[in-house]
Structure 1
Amino acid sequence: MTGFAERRGSDAGADWVWEIRAVNGKGLDLRTRLPDGIDGLEQGARAAVSARMARGNATLSLKLSRAAEAGAIRVNAAGLSAALDAVSQVGAEAARRGVELPAPSATDILTLRGVLETGAVAEDTGPLLAALLADLDVLLADFAAMRAAEGRALAVVIDGQIARIAQLADEARTAAEARRPQMEQALRDNLARVLAGAAEADPARVAQELALLAVKADVTEELDRLAAHVAAARRLLAEKGAVGRKFDFLMQEFMREANTLCSKSGNAELTRIGLDLKTVIDQMREQVQNVE
Protein backbone atom coordinates (compact mmCIF):
# COMPACT_ATOMS: atom_id res chain seq x y z
CA MET A 1 0.00 0.00 0.00
CA THR A 2 1.25 3.44 -0.83
CA GLY A 3 1.99 6.03 1.83
CA PHE A 4 4.16 8.98 2.77
CA ALA A 5 5.12 10.82 5.97
CA GLU A 6 7.72 13.40 6.97
CA ARG A 7 8.78 14.68 10.36
CA ARG A 8 11.26 17.31 11.51
CA GLY A 9 12.90 17.30 14.91
CA SER A 10 15.81 18.54 16.95
CA ASP A 11 17.50 17.34 20.12
CA ALA A 12 20.90 16.35 21.48
CA GLY A 13 22.63 19.12 19.50
CA ALA A 14 21.23 18.01 16.14
CA ASP A 15 18.46 18.82 13.69
CA TRP A 16 16.91 16.19 11.46
CA VAL A 17 14.23 15.34 8.92
CA TRP A 18 12.79 11.83 8.82
CA GLU A 19 10.95 10.75 5.67
CA ILE A 20 9.29 7.49 4.68
CA ARG A 21 7.48 6.59 1.49
CA ALA A 22 6.10 3.30 0.25
CA VAL A 23 4.56 1.80 -2.87
CA ASN A 24 2.96 -1.56 -3.59
CA GLY A 25 4.98 -4.73 -3.23
CA LYS A 26 4.42 -8.45 -2.76
CA GLY A 27 6.64 -8.55 0.32
CA LEU A 28 8.42 -6.06 2.57
CA ASP A 29 11.41 -4.47 0.86
CA LEU A 30 12.87 -1.72 3.04
CA ARG A 31 15.63 0.55 1.78
CA THR A 32 17.31 2.99 4.13
CA ARG A 33 19.30 6.17 3.61
CA LEU A 34 20.77 6.89 7.01
CA PRO A 35 23.88 8.77 8.11
CA ASP A 36 26.88 6.89 9.44
CA GLY A 37 28.41 7.29 12.85
CA ILE A 38 25.39 6.55 15.06
CA ASP A 39 25.68 3.05 16.48
CA GLY A 40 22.41 1.10 16.42
CA LEU A 41 20.51 3.48 14.14
CA GLU A 42 20.19 1.13 11.19
CA GLN A 43 19.08 -1.82 13.31
CA GLY A 44 16.66 0.23 15.38
CA ALA A 45 15.09 1.89 12.34
CA ARG A 46 14.58 -1.41 10.52
CA ALA A 47 13.02 -3.02 13.56
CA ALA A 48 10.63 -0.09 14.01
CA VAL A 49 9.48 -0.14 10.38
CA SER A 50 9.13 -3.94 10.28
CA ALA A 51 6.91 -3.81 13.36
CA ARG A 52 4.42 -1.59 11.49
CA MET A 53 4.68 -2.85 7.90
CA ALA A 54 4.26 -6.33 6.47
CA ARG A 55 4.14 -5.54 2.77
CA GLY A 56 5.36 -2.87 0.38
CA ASN A 57 8.49 -1.33 -1.10
CA ALA A 58 9.49 1.33 1.41
CA THR A 59 12.28 3.89 1.55
CA LEU A 60 13.26 5.42 4.89
CA SER A 61 15.63 8.38 4.87
CA LEU A 62 17.13 10.65 7.50
CA LYS A 63 18.78 14.00 6.86
CA LEU A 64 20.84 14.93 9.91
CA SER A 65 22.83 18.05 10.66
CA ARG A 66 24.92 18.55 13.78
CA ALA A 67 26.86 21.58 15.02
CA ALA A 68 30.40 21.32 13.70
CA GLU A 69 32.69 20.35 16.48
CA ALA A 70 36.11 21.96 16.57
CA GLY A 71 38.80 19.38 16.50
CA ALA A 72 40.76 19.25 19.76
CA ILE A 73 44.51 19.99 19.52
CA ARG A 74 46.70 18.00 21.90
CA VAL A 75 50.43 17.56 22.45
CA ASN A 76 51.48 13.99 22.06
CA ALA A 77 53.82 13.45 24.99
CA ALA A 78 55.64 10.55 23.38
CA GLY A 79 55.97 12.44 20.10
CA LEU A 80 57.29 15.55 21.91
CA SER A 81 59.84 13.50 23.83
CA ALA A 82 61.06 11.87 20.63
CA ALA A 83 61.25 15.24 18.87
CA LEU A 84 63.27 16.82 21.72
CA ASP A 85 65.62 13.85 21.75
CA ALA A 86 66.12 14.26 18.02
CA VAL A 87 66.75 18.02 18.35
CA SER A 88 69.23 17.39 21.17
CA GLN A 89 70.99 14.70 19.16
CA VAL A 90 71.26 17.01 16.12
CA GLY A 91 72.59 19.85 18.28
CA ALA A 92 75.19 17.65 19.93
CA GLU A 93 76.42 16.26 16.62
CA ALA A 94 76.58 19.77 15.10
CA ALA A 95 78.60 21.05 18.08
CA ARG A 96 80.99 18.09 17.82
CA ARG A 97 81.62 19.01 14.18
CA GLY A 98 81.93 22.72 14.92
CA VAL A 99 78.71 23.65 13.18
CA GLU A 100 76.74 26.36 14.90
CA LEU A 101 72.96 25.96 14.71
CA PRO A 102 70.33 28.41 15.90
CA ALA A 103 68.33 27.22 18.84
CA PRO A 104 64.93 25.87 17.70
CA SER A 105 61.84 27.67 18.95
CA ALA A 106 58.80 26.03 20.48
CA THR A 107 56.94 26.70 17.24
CA ASP A 108 59.66 24.89 15.31
CA ILE A 109 59.31 21.87 17.57
CA LEU A 110 55.49 21.88 17.37
CA THR A 111 55.70 21.64 13.60
CA LEU A 112 57.63 18.41 13.81
CA ARG A 113 55.63 15.36 12.84
CA GLY A 114 53.99 13.51 15.70
CA VAL A 115 54.21 16.36 18.25
CA LEU A 116 50.66 17.66 17.80
CA GLU A 117 47.45 15.63 17.44
CA THR A 118 44.16 16.92 16.14
CA GLY A 119 40.80 15.14 16.12
CA ALA A 120 37.28 15.28 17.35
CA VAL A 121 36.60 14.35 20.91
CA ALA A 122 34.92 10.96 21.16
CA GLU A 123 31.15 11.47 21.26
CA ASP A 124 28.46 9.48 23.03
CA THR A 125 25.75 9.09 20.37
CA GLY A 126 23.38 7.29 22.76
CA PRO A 127 21.20 10.35 23.55
CA LEU A 128 20.97 11.27 19.88
CA LEU A 129 20.02 7.70 18.93
CA ALA A 130 17.26 7.64 21.55
CA ALA A 131 15.89 10.97 20.33
CA LEU A 132 15.96 9.88 16.69
CA LEU A 133 14.20 6.56 17.33
CA ALA A 134 11.57 8.24 19.50
CA ASP A 135 10.83 10.68 16.70
CA LEU A 136 10.80 7.81 14.21
CA ASP A 137 7.99 6.20 16.19
CA VAL A 138 5.92 9.35 15.77
CA LEU A 139 6.71 9.43 12.06
CA LEU A 140 5.61 5.81 11.66
CA ALA A 141 2.39 6.50 13.57
CA ASP A 142 1.60 9.30 11.10
CA PHE A 143 2.54 6.99 8.24
CA ALA A 144 0.27 4.23 9.54
CA ALA A 145 -2.62 6.67 9.95
CA MET A 146 -2.28 7.78 6.34
CA ARG A 147 -2.17 4.21 5.09
CA ALA A 148 -5.16 3.31 7.26
CA ALA A 149 -7.19 6.13 5.72
CA GLU A 150 -6.22 4.92 2.26
CA GLY A 151 -7.10 1.39 3.30
CA ARG A 152 -10.59 2.39 4.38
CA ALA A 153 -11.21 4.03 1.02
CA LEU A 154 -9.78 0.98 -0.75
CA ALA A 155 -12.01 -1.34 1.27
CA VAL A 156 -15.08 0.46 -0.07
CA VAL A 157 -13.88 -0.06 -3.65
CA ILE A 158 -13.06 -3.74 -3.11
CA ASP A 159 -16.35 -4.34 -1.30
CA GLY A 160 -18.18 -2.94 -4.32
CA GLN A 161 -16.22 -5.24 -6.63
CA ILE A 162 -17.01 -8.26 -4.46
CA ALA A 163 -20.68 -7.32 -4.59
CA ARG A 164 -20.50 -7.06 -8.39
CA ILE A 165 -18.89 -10.52 -8.61
CA ALA A 166 -21.67 -11.94 -6.41
CA GLN A 167 -24.29 -10.28 -8.63
CA LEU A 168 -22.73 -11.67 -11.80
CA ALA A 169 -22.53 -15.13 -10.24
CA ASP A 170 -26.26 -14.97 -9.50
CA GLU A 171 -26.92 -13.89 -13.08
CA ALA A 172 -24.79 -16.78 -14.31
CA ARG A 173 -26.81 -19.22 -12.22
CA THR A 174 -30.02 -17.86 -13.71
CA ALA A 175 -28.61 -18.04 -17.24
CA ALA A 176 -27.37 -21.59 -16.65
CA GLU A 177 -30.83 -22.64 -15.52
CA ALA A 178 -32.42 -20.90 -18.51
CA ARG A 179 -30.18 -22.79 -20.95
CA ARG A 180 -31.10 -26.19 -19.48
CA PRO A 181 -33.88 -26.94 -22.01
CA GLN A 182 -31.51 -25.95 -24.82
CA MET A 183 -28.83 -28.26 -23.46
CA GLU A 184 -31.25 -31.15 -23.03
CA GLN A 185 -32.51 -30.74 -26.58
CA ALA A 186 -28.94 -30.59 -27.89
CA LEU A 187 -28.13 -33.82 -26.06
CA ARG A 188 -31.21 -35.53 -27.49
CA ASP A 189 -30.26 -34.38 -30.98
CA ASN A 190 -26.73 -35.67 -30.50
CA LEU A 191 -28.05 -38.97 -29.26
CA ALA A 192 -30.32 -39.31 -32.26
CA ARG A 193 -27.48 -38.58 -34.68
CA VAL A 194 -25.20 -41.09 -33.00
CA LEU A 195 -27.81 -43.84 -32.98
CA ALA A 196 -28.79 -43.14 -36.57
CA GLY A 197 -25.19 -43.26 -37.76
CA ALA A 198 -24.09 -46.30 -35.81
CA ALA A 199 -26.75 -48.94 -35.58
CA GLU A 200 -24.42 -51.32 -33.81
CA ALA A 201 -23.26 -48.76 -31.23
CA ASP A 202 -23.40 -49.92 -27.65
CA PRO A 203 -26.35 -48.01 -26.10
CA ALA A 204 -24.68 -48.05 -22.67
CA ARG A 205 -21.50 -46.60 -24.13
CA VAL A 206 -23.45 -43.92 -25.97
CA ALA A 207 -25.38 -43.02 -22.85
CA GLN A 208 -22.12 -42.81 -20.89
CA GLU A 209 -20.55 -40.44 -23.42
CA LEU A 210 -23.60 -38.20 -23.48
CA ALA A 211 -23.69 -38.14 -19.68
CA LEU A 212 -20.04 -37.12 -19.71
CA LEU A 213 -20.84 -34.27 -22.10
CA ALA A 214 -23.64 -33.15 -19.81
CA VAL A 215 -21.29 -33.14 -16.81
CA LYS A 216 -18.66 -31.17 -18.71
CA ALA A 217 -21.23 -28.54 -19.63
CA ASP A 218 -22.60 -28.25 -16.09
CA VAL A 219 -21.35 -25.05 -14.35
CA THR A 220 -22.96 -25.68 -10.97
CA GLU A 221 -19.64 -26.46 -9.24
CA GLU A 222 -18.00 -23.33 -10.65
CA LEU A 223 -20.86 -21.16 -9.46
CA ASP A 224 -20.80 -22.79 -6.02
CA ARG A 225 -17.07 -22.15 -5.73
CA LEU A 226 -17.54 -18.54 -6.84
CA ALA A 227 -20.07 -18.09 -4.05
CA ALA A 228 -17.61 -19.59 -1.57
CA HIS A 229 -14.85 -17.27 -2.82
CA VAL A 230 -17.15 -14.26 -2.43
CA ALA A 231 -17.79 -15.25 1.20
CA ALA A 232 -14.06 -15.73 1.78
CA ALA A 233 -13.28 -12.32 0.27
CA ARG A 234 -15.79 -10.63 2.56
CA ARG A 235 -14.27 -12.35 5.58
CA LEU A 236 -10.79 -11.19 4.55
CA LEU A 237 -12.04 -7.65 4.07
CA ALA A 238 -13.34 -7.66 7.65
CA GLU A 239 -10.12 -9.06 9.14
CA LYS A 240 -7.57 -6.98 11.00
CA GLY A 241 -3.93 -7.22 10.05
CA ALA A 242 -2.16 -8.17 6.85
CA VAL A 243 -4.42 -9.95 4.34
CA GLY A 244 -2.83 -8.93 1.03
CA ARG A 245 -1.18 -12.29 0.33
CA LYS A 246 -4.41 -14.16 1.05
CA PHE A 247 -6.26 -11.84 -1.30
CA ASP A 248 -3.63 -12.48 -3.99
CA PHE A 249 -4.28 -16.22 -3.79
CA LEU A 250 -8.05 -15.75 -3.71
CA MET A 251 -7.94 -13.65 -6.89
CA GLN A 252 -6.27 -16.55 -8.69
CA GLU A 253 -9.11 -18.81 -7.58
CA PHE A 254 -11.72 -16.29 -8.73
CA MET A 255 -10.14 -16.08 -12.17
CA ARG A 256 -9.85 -19.85 -12.48
CA GLU A 257 -13.59 -20.28 -11.94
CA ALA A 258 -14.44 -17.47 -14.36
CA ASN A 259 -12.25 -19.02 -17.06
CA THR A 260 -13.85 -22.42 -16.58
CA LEU A 261 -17.31 -20.88 -16.68
CA CYS A 262 -16.54 -19.28 -20.04
CA SER A 263 -15.09 -22.49 -21.48
CA LYS A 264 -18.17 -24.52 -20.44
CA SER A 265 -20.86 -21.96 -21.18
CA GLY A 266 -22.06 -23.05 -24.62
CA ASN A 267 -24.42 -20.10 -24.45
CA ALA A 268 -24.01 -16.50 -25.56
CA GLU A 269 -25.56 -14.99 -22.43
CA LEU A 270 -23.53 -17.15 -20.07
CA THR A 271 -20.37 -16.32 -22.03
CA ARG A 272 -21.12 -12.59 -21.72
CA ILE A 273 -21.54 -12.94 -17.97
CA GLY A 274 -18.31 -14.91 -17.74
CA LEU A 275 -16.40 -12.20 -19.61
CA ASP A 276 -17.89 -9.53 -17.34
CA LEU A 277 -16.77 -11.60 -14.37
CA LYS A 278 -13.22 -11.77 -15.69
CA THR A 279 -13.17 -8.01 -16.19
CA VAL A 280 -14.31 -7.27 -12.62
CA ILE A 281 -11.95 -9.86 -11.17
CA ASP A 282 -9.03 -8.37 -13.08
CA GLN A 283 -9.91 -4.89 -11.81
CA MET A 284 -10.16 -6.22 -8.27
CA ARG A 285 -6.81 -7.96 -8.61
CA GLU A 286 -5.22 -4.61 -9.42
CA GLN A 287 -6.73 -3.06 -6.30
CA VAL A 288 -5.69 -6.00 -4.15
CA GLN A 289 -2.05 -5.19 -4.94
CA ASN A 290 -2.55 -2.13 -2.71
CA VAL A 291 -3.66 -4.22 0.26
CA GLU A 292 -1.11 -5.01 2.93
Structure 2
Amino acid sequence: MTHSMTAFTRQEAQYPWGSLSWEIRSVNQRFLEPHFRLPETLRDLEPAIREMQRKNLNRGKVESVLRFQPAQVSEQFSIDEKLIKQLAGAAEAISSHLQNPAQINPLQLMQWPGVLQNEEVDPDEIKKAALDLYKQGLKDLISSRAREGEELANLIVQRLDGIDAIVKQVRDVLPGILERQRQQIEEKLESIKEELDPARVEQEIVILANKTDVAEELDRLDTHVTEVRRILKKKDPIGRRLDFLMQELNREANTLASKSIVTETTQCAVELKVLIEQMREQIQNIE
Protein backbone atom coordinates (compact mmCIF):
# COMPACT_ATOMS: atom_id res chain seq x y z
CA MET A 1 0.00 0.00 0.00
CA THR A 2 1.22 3.48 -0.88
CA HIS A 3 1.92 5.70 2.14
CA SER A 4 2.30 9.46 2.16
CA MET A 5 4.90 11.15 4.34
CA THR A 6 2.57 14.04 5.16
CA ALA A 7 0.20 13.66 8.13
CA PHE A 8 -0.83 15.14 11.48
CA THR A 9 -2.44 13.76 14.62
CA ARG A 10 -3.26 15.01 18.10
CA GLN A 11 -3.92 12.75 21.08
CA GLU A 12 -5.00 14.00 24.50
CA ALA A 13 -5.97 12.25 27.74
CA GLN A 14 -6.93 13.26 31.27
CA TYR A 15 -5.66 11.52 34.41
CA PRO A 16 -6.15 12.13 38.16
CA TRP A 17 -2.67 13.65 38.29
CA GLY A 18 -3.02 15.87 35.21
CA SER A 19 -3.32 15.82 31.43
CA LEU A 20 -1.06 14.72 28.56
CA SER A 21 -1.28 15.71 24.91
CA TRP A 22 0.80 14.67 21.93
CA GLU A 23 1.01 16.44 18.59
CA ILE A 24 2.76 14.46 15.87
CA ARG A 25 3.30 15.88 12.41
CA SER A 26 5.31 14.48 9.52
CA VAL A 27 6.41 15.93 6.19
CA ASN A 28 8.46 14.61 3.30
CA GLN A 29 12.15 13.97 3.88
CA ARG A 30 14.72 11.79 2.18
CA PHE A 31 15.35 9.77 5.35
CA LEU A 32 13.61 9.28 8.71
CA GLU A 33 14.38 12.42 10.72
CA PRO A 34 12.85 12.55 14.24
CA HIS A 35 12.47 15.80 16.19
CA PHE A 36 11.25 16.02 19.80
CA ARG A 37 9.92 18.71 22.11
CA LEU A 38 9.39 17.16 25.52
CA PRO A 39 9.08 18.53 29.07
CA GLU A 40 12.39 18.33 30.88
CA THR A 41 10.98 15.87 33.44
CA LEU A 42 9.98 13.49 30.60
CA ARG A 43 13.07 13.91 28.43
CA ASP A 44 14.17 10.32 29.00
CA LEU A 45 11.18 9.09 26.95
CA GLU A 46 13.02 10.03 23.75
CA PRO A 47 14.91 6.73 23.18
CA ALA A 48 11.72 4.67 23.45
CA ILE A 49 9.89 6.99 21.05
CA ARG A 50 12.76 6.87 18.57
CA GLU A 51 12.56 3.08 18.61
CA MET A 52 8.79 3.18 17.99
CA GLN A 53 9.31 5.42 14.98
CA ARG A 54 12.13 3.26 13.63
CA LYS A 55 9.91 0.17 13.72
CA ASN A 56 6.88 1.81 12.11
CA LEU A 57 8.16 4.55 9.77
CA ASN A 58 10.75 4.55 7.02
CA ARG A 59 10.98 8.12 5.76
CA GLY A 60 9.82 11.58 6.72
CA LYS A 61 10.64 14.43 9.05
CA VAL A 62 8.59 13.61 12.16
CA GLU A 63 8.07 16.22 14.87
CA SER A 64 6.66 14.99 18.20
CA VAL A 65 5.52 17.52 20.81
CA LEU A 66 4.44 16.43 24.32
CA ARG A 67 2.61 18.73 26.73
CA PHE A 68 2.09 17.79 30.37
CA GLN A 69 -0.27 19.77 32.59
CA PRO A 70 -0.21 18.64 36.26
CA ALA A 71 -3.46 18.63 38.19
CA GLN A 72 -4.11 21.62 40.43
CA VAL A 73 -2.08 21.25 43.60
CA SER A 74 -4.20 20.24 46.59
CA GLU A 75 -3.39 18.97 50.05
CA GLN A 76 -4.47 15.36 49.75
CA PHE A 77 -3.44 12.96 52.48
CA SER A 78 -3.94 9.30 53.18
CA ILE A 79 -4.08 7.71 56.63
CA ASP A 80 -1.96 4.73 57.63
CA GLU A 81 -4.77 2.82 59.34
CA LYS A 82 -2.49 0.01 60.46
CA LEU A 83 -0.23 2.45 62.30
CA ILE A 84 -3.27 4.18 63.86
CA LYS A 85 -4.50 0.87 65.29
CA GLN A 86 -1.07 0.13 66.72
CA LEU A 87 -0.84 3.56 68.36
CA ALA A 88 -4.39 3.31 69.76
CA GLY A 89 -3.67 -0.14 71.17
CA ALA A 90 -0.47 1.07 72.79
CA ALA A 91 -2.31 4.07 74.28
CA GLU A 92 -5.03 1.84 75.74
CA ALA A 93 -2.46 -0.52 77.21
CA ILE A 94 -0.75 2.39 78.91
CA SER A 95 -4.07 3.84 80.11
CA SER A 96 -4.90 0.58 81.86
CA HIS A 97 -2.02 1.21 84.25
CA LEU A 98 -3.13 4.75 85.10
CA GLN A 99 -5.74 5.80 87.67
CA ASN A 100 -7.14 8.72 85.71
CA PRO A 101 -6.08 8.19 82.11
CA ALA A 102 -6.70 10.99 79.66
CA GLN A 103 -8.76 10.33 76.55
CA ILE A 104 -6.90 9.64 73.36
CA ASN A 105 -6.70 12.83 71.28
CA PRO A 106 -7.02 12.16 67.52
CA LEU A 107 -5.09 15.35 66.71
CA GLN A 108 -2.15 14.08 68.69
CA LEU A 109 -2.26 10.78 66.82
CA MET A 110 -2.22 12.69 63.51
CA GLN A 111 1.02 14.35 64.56
CA TRP A 112 2.77 11.01 64.91
CA PRO A 113 5.29 10.49 62.08
CA GLY A 114 3.89 8.35 59.29
CA VAL A 115 0.22 8.54 60.27
CA LEU A 116 -0.57 11.08 57.54
CA GLN A 117 1.03 10.51 54.15
CA ASN A 118 1.04 13.04 51.33
CA GLU A 119 -0.22 11.44 48.08
CA GLU A 120 2.46 11.88 45.39
CA VAL A 121 2.26 10.86 41.74
CA ASP A 122 4.58 8.09 40.64
CA PRO A 123 6.80 9.47 37.79
CA ASP A 124 6.86 6.02 36.17
CA GLU A 125 3.08 6.12 35.94
CA ILE A 126 3.23 9.39 34.01
CA LYS A 127 5.91 8.04 31.65
CA LYS A 128 3.96 4.86 30.97
CA ALA A 129 0.82 6.87 30.23
CA ALA A 130 2.79 9.15 27.88
CA LEU A 131 4.22 6.19 25.96
CA ASP A 132 0.82 4.48 25.68
CA LEU A 133 -0.70 7.72 24.39
CA TYR A 134 2.13 8.10 21.88
CA LYS A 135 1.47 4.59 20.56
CA GLN A 136 -2.13 5.62 19.87
CA GLY A 137 -0.94 8.79 18.15
CA LEU A 138 1.59 6.93 16.01
CA LYS A 139 -1.06 4.43 14.95
CA ASP A 140 -3.38 7.27 13.93
CA LEU A 141 -0.53 9.00 12.07
CA ILE A 142 0.22 5.84 10.08
CA SER A 143 -3.47 5.44 9.21
CA SER A 144 -3.57 9.04 8.01
CA ARG A 145 -0.43 8.52 5.91
CA ALA A 146 -2.01 5.41 4.39
CA ARG A 147 -5.24 7.24 3.47
CA GLU A 148 -3.37 10.10 1.84
CA GLY A 149 -1.03 7.64 0.14
CA GLU A 150 -4.00 5.90 -1.43
CA GLU A 151 -5.21 9.21 -2.84
CA LEU A 152 -1.74 9.97 -4.21
CA ALA A 153 -1.65 6.55 -5.87
CA ASN A 154 -5.01 7.26 -7.54
CA LEU A 155 -3.71 10.57 -8.86
CA ILE A 156 -0.61 8.87 -10.26
CA VAL A 157 -2.69 6.16 -11.92
CA GLN A 158 -4.75 8.87 -13.63
CA ARG A 159 -1.56 10.36 -15.07
CA LEU A 160 -0.38 6.91 -16.17
CA ASP A 161 -3.65 6.46 -18.03
CA GLY A 162 -2.97 9.79 -19.73
CA ILE A 163 0.51 8.65 -20.77
CA ASP A 164 -0.94 5.42 -22.18
CA ALA A 165 -3.41 7.44 -24.26
CA ILE A 166 -0.66 9.72 -25.62
CA VAL A 167 1.61 6.78 -26.48
CA LYS A 168 -1.26 5.11 -28.34
CA GLN A 169 -1.98 8.35 -30.19
CA VAL A 170 1.64 8.66 -31.35
CA ARG A 171 1.73 4.99 -32.40
CA ASP A 172 -1.39 5.48 -34.48
CA VAL A 173 -0.08 8.52 -36.36
CA LEU A 174 3.58 7.49 -36.61
CA PRO A 175 3.33 5.39 -39.82
CA GLY A 176 1.56 8.23 -41.64
CA ILE A 177 4.16 10.75 -40.39
CA LEU A 178 7.04 8.63 -41.64
CA GLU A 179 5.35 8.08 -45.00
CA ARG A 180 4.70 11.81 -45.47
CA GLN A 181 8.31 12.53 -44.59
CA ARG A 182 9.50 10.05 -47.19
CA GLN A 183 7.28 11.61 -49.84
CA GLN A 184 8.52 15.12 -49.04
CA ILE A 185 12.14 14.02 -49.33
CA GLU A 186 11.48 12.28 -52.63
CA GLU A 187 9.72 15.35 -54.01
CA LYS A 188 12.64 17.60 -53.07
CA LEU A 189 15.09 15.24 -54.75
CA GLU A 190 12.99 14.71 -57.85
CA SER A 191 14.49 17.69 -59.64
CA ILE A 192 18.04 16.45 -59.20
CA LYS A 193 17.30 12.76 -59.17
CA GLU A 194 19.23 12.13 -62.42
CA GLU A 195 22.38 13.52 -60.85
CA LEU A 196 22.22 11.25 -57.77
CA ASP A 197 22.74 7.56 -57.27
CA PRO A 198 19.26 6.07 -56.64
CA ALA A 199 20.72 3.53 -54.19
CA ARG A 200 22.42 6.31 -52.26
CA VAL A 201 19.19 8.32 -52.16
CA GLU A 202 17.28 5.34 -50.79
CA GLN A 203 19.97 4.75 -48.18
CA GLU A 204 19.83 8.34 -46.97
CA ILE A 205 16.03 8.18 -46.76
CA VAL A 206 16.24 5.04 -44.62
CA ILE A 207 18.84 6.63 -42.32
CA LEU A 208 16.74 9.76 -41.87
CA ALA A 209 13.64 7.67 -41.21
CA ASN A 210 15.49 5.72 -38.53
CA LYS A 211 16.57 8.95 -36.83
CA THR A 212 13.01 10.14 -36.60
CA ASP A 213 11.43 6.78 -35.72
CA VAL A 214 10.34 6.85 -32.05
CA ALA A 215 8.96 3.32 -31.79
CA GLU A 216 11.75 2.35 -29.39
CA GLU A 217 11.01 5.30 -27.12
CA LEU A 218 7.31 4.45 -27.13
CA ASP A 219 8.12 0.86 -26.15
CA ARG A 220 10.23 2.07 -23.23
CA LEU A 221 7.49 4.44 -22.14
CA ASP A 222 5.08 1.49 -22.05
CA THR A 223 7.60 -0.54 -20.03
CA HIS A 224 8.15 2.22 -17.47
CA VAL A 225 4.43 2.83 -17.07
CA THR A 226 3.84 -0.88 -16.46
CA GLU A 227 6.61 -0.88 -13.84
CA VAL A 228 5.14 2.14 -12.05
CA ARG A 229 1.77 0.41 -11.84
CA ARG A 230 3.43 -2.70 -10.42
CA ILE A 231 5.39 -0.76 -7.79
CA LEU A 232 2.28 1.10 -6.62
CA LYS A 233 0.88 -2.25 -5.47
CA LYS A 234 3.90 -3.17 -3.33
CA LYS A 235 3.77 -2.98 0.47
CA ASP A 236 7.37 -1.82 0.85
CA PRO A 237 8.44 1.85 0.78
CA ILE A 238 8.31 2.84 -2.88
CA GLY A 239 9.03 6.57 -3.07
CA ARG A 240 12.65 6.32 -4.22
CA ARG A 241 11.88 3.70 -6.86
CA LEU A 242 9.10 5.83 -8.27
CA ASP A 243 11.34 8.88 -8.30
CA PHE A 244 13.90 6.96 -10.38
CA LEU A 245 11.23 5.85 -12.85
CA MET A 246 10.06 9.44 -13.25
CA GLN A 247 13.59 10.32 -14.40
CA GLU A 248 13.48 7.50 -16.95
CA LEU A 249 10.05 8.55 -18.20
CA ASN A 250 11.25 12.11 -18.56
CA ARG A 251 14.29 10.92 -20.51
CA GLU A 252 12.08 9.15 -23.06
CA ALA A 253 9.79 12.16 -23.35
CA ASN A 254 12.81 14.38 -24.09
CA THR A 255 14.02 11.97 -26.77
CA LEU A 256 10.55 11.90 -28.30
CA ALA A 257 10.57 15.70 -28.44
CA SER A 258 14.04 15.85 -30.01
CA LYS A 259 13.05 13.38 -32.74
CA SER A 260 9.77 15.11 -33.49
CA ILE A 261 9.42 16.44 -37.02
CA VAL A 262 5.77 17.54 -36.86
CA THR A 263 3.78 19.72 -34.51
CA GLU A 264 1.51 16.83 -33.54
CA THR A 265 4.24 14.69 -31.96
CA THR A 266 5.90 17.77 -30.44
CA GLN A 267 2.65 18.58 -28.64
CA CYS A 268 2.38 14.97 -27.46
CA ALA A 269 5.90 15.16 -26.03
CA VAL A 270 5.02 18.37 -24.17
CA GLU A 271 1.87 16.77 -22.72
CA LEU A 272 3.93 13.77 -21.64
CA LYS A 273 6.39 15.99 -19.77
CA VAL A 274 3.52 17.80 -18.03
CA LEU A 275 2.02 14.51 -16.82
CA ILE A 276 5.42 13.21 -15.69
CA GLU A 277 6.15 16.40 -13.76
CA GLN A 278 2.75 16.21 -12.05
CA MET A 279 3.52 12.65 -10.97
CA ARG A 280 7.00 13.60 -9.80
CA GLU A 281 5.58 16.32 -7.54
CA GLN A 282 3.16 13.86 -5.95
CA ILE A 283 5.85 11.21 -5.53
CA GLN A 284 7.94 13.63 -3.43
CA ASN A 285 5.39 12.98 -0.66
CA ILE A 286 5.37 9.18 -0.95
CA GLU A 287 7.27 7.15 1.64
- TM-score tier after normalising by the smaller chain length: 0.7 to 0.9
Cα deviation, residue 129, structure 1? 2.6
Q: What root-mean-square deviation, in Å, do the aligned CA atoms of Structure 1 and Structure 2 show?
A: 2.9
User: Matches of residues 102-251 of structure 1 in structure 2 within 5 Å?
Assistant: 125-188=123-186, 210-251=205-246
Judge conservation of contact 1:30–1:59 (CA < 8 Å) in 2: yes
Q: Separation in 1 of the partners of 2:29 and 2:230?
A: 22
Cα deviation, residue 177, structure 1? 2.1
Judge conservation of contact 1:25–1:55 (CA < 8 Å) in 2: yes
In structure 1, what residue type is equivalent to 2:241? Answer: K
Structure 1 gap ranges (5+): 71-122
Q: Separation in 1 of the partners of 2:194 and 2:256?
A: 32
Instruction: Tell me the residue number matched to 1:101.
Output: none
Relative contact order (C-alpha < 8 Å, sep 6+): which is higher? 2
Percent sequence identity over aligned pairs: 36
Flag the 1:47–1:209 CA change in 2: closer, same or farther, 3 A.
farther
Instruction: Tell me the residue number matched to 1:76.
Output: none
What secondary structure, in the 3-state scheme, does the structure 1 residue paired with 2:41 have?
coil
Among 34, 37, 42, which residue is 1:38 paired with?
A: 42
Cα deviation, residue 69, structure 1? 8.8
Cα deviation, residue 17, structure 1? 0.7
Judge conservation of contact 2:16–2:71 (CA < 8 Å) in 1: no
Scaled by the length of structure 2, the TM-score of the pair is 0.72
In structure 2, what residue type is equivalent to 1:29? Answer: E
Moved more, 55-64 or 181-190: 181-190
In structure 2, what residue type is equivalent to 1:43? Answer: P
Moved more, 167-176 or 60-69: 60-69
Cα deviation, residue 134, structure 1? 1.6
Among 273, 279, 287, which residue is 1:284 paired with?
A: 279
Q: How many residues align?
A: 237
In structure 1, what residue type is equivalent to 2:275? Answer: V
Judge conservation of contact 1:39–1:125 (CA < 8 Å) in 2: no
Instruction: Tell me the residue number matched to 2:266.
Output: 271
In structure 2, what residue type is equivalent to 1:133? Answer: L
Judge conservation of contact 1:20–1:58 (CA < 8 Å) in 2: yes
Judge conservation of contact 1:251–1:285 (CA < 8 Å) in 2: yes
Instruction: Tell me the residue number matched to 2:106.
Output: none
Judge conservation of contact 2:28–2:285 (CA < 8 Å) in 1: yes
Cα deviation, residue 270, structure 1? 1.0
Judge conservation of contact 1:5–1:142 (CA < 8 Å) in 2: yes
CA offsets 1:223-273 (integer angstroms, 9 cap, x no match)? 000000110111112111311111111111111111111110101111111
Scaled by the length of structure 1, the TM-score of the pair is 0.71
